[in-house]
Amino acid sequence: MLMNIHKLLKIIFGVAIVGVILYGVNVGLFYFNQEDILFQEPDLSEERAAEVVRENDRVEEITMEVEEGVSLHGWLLESQSESSDPAPLLIYFGGNSEELSRSFDQFSSMDDWSVLLMNHRGYGLSEGTPSERNLFHDARYMYDELTAREDIDSSRVVVMGRSMGTAPATHLSKERDVSGTILVSPYDTRTRLMEHRQPYLPVKWLIRHPFKLSEKAGEIDSPLLAFLATEDEVIPPEHSEVTVESWSGEAEIVWLEGYDHNDLQGSPDFLDNIHRFLDEVQ
């Protein structure tokens, strides 16, 4: 009898040790691999970058040194307005796997606006390493550089971000004077999102890029247009709603029924409402 109990205790102890080891492995994988999961860093060849300019008459290729030894690469879609006045500016921040030479189509119809499409650090031909700190720094730098141009109307700047890009977009809206903000599937905080996905891990002690959007939202007075997809399983709509409800300025949600995180731009309500919003903030 005592021998059986001793064997049982050894088995229980062994299972517990294995459980602790497996848990520790999961914690380590999350901690050390979180940048690889968050920042996909898609490539762009020099040849494709040159084709982008050749294929688009309104495109100005831009390289800006955001820090010593670190240059970002992207494009300015120049306004096609016949007016000689400086053009209003839309600054767009893409998602975690979005290389912006592939995003031209959704902005090609915005003839009266100039649109800045700069790849994040490590994306496309942009140099450096992406991080929360770097994305926020670069967002401010882009704004300051573009609004200093004579062909840009610094009093009419709208910031737009999608998914991961909603983090630098919201940060910029807090830090600079913008006319409006467009967020597509925004975070509440990335910490809360990862807690939702990994409920058994101590995420708040491990995460290096928390992206606390809803905390910043309460300090932003500019109007907000938010797109939420009803079938979004990547960033659940109830997370996004927290940021919208926290927004200090006027905030509007456009619900895209039947769409998910990756196809919502296919809704006819997507571009129509962006155009309407841009017209309203001019």
Q: 3-class SS at 48?
A: helix
pLDDT at 2: 55
Q: Which residues contact 1 (CB under 8 A, 6 or more apart)?
A: none
Q: Return d(Cα 244, Cα 237) in angstroms, integer.
A: 10
pLDDT at 9: 65
pLDDT at 252: 98
Q: Which residues contact 126 (CB under 8 A, 6 or more apart)?
A: 71, 72, 73, 74, 118, 119, 120
pLDDT at 182: 98
pLDDT at 125: 98
Q: What is the pLDDT along the chain (282 residues), one digit of tens a residue?
A: 556 776 766 777 677 787 778 878 788 888 888 999 999 999 999 999 999 999 888 999 999 999 999 999 999 999 998 888 999 999 999 999 999 999 988 898 898 999 999 999 999 999 999 999 999 999 999 999 999 999 999 999 999 999 999 999 999 999 999 999 999 999 999 999 999 999 998 999 999 999 999 999 999 999 999 999 999 999 999 999 999 999 999 999 999 999 999 999 999 999 999 999 999 986
Q: 3-class SS at 227?
A: strand
Q: Classify residue 81 as left (phi > 0), alpha (psi -120 to 50) or beta.
A: beta
Q: How many Cβ atoms from other residues are within 10 Å of residue 83's Cβ?
A: 8
Q: In the chain, at which residue ranges do the beta strands (DSSP E only) sit? A: 59-67, 70-77, 87-93, 114-118, 152-162, 180-184, 224-229, 251-256
Is 71 buried (19+), middle (13-18) or exposed (0-12) by CB count in 10 A? middle
Q: Find where tokens 């592939």 sit.
A: 102
pLDDT at 282: 67
The string of DSSP letters for 165-217 reads GHHHHHHHHHHS--SEEEEES--SBHHHHHHHH-TTS-HHHH-S---BHHHHH
pLDDT at 19: 73
CA atoms in the 13 A half-sphere facing the CB of 155? 3
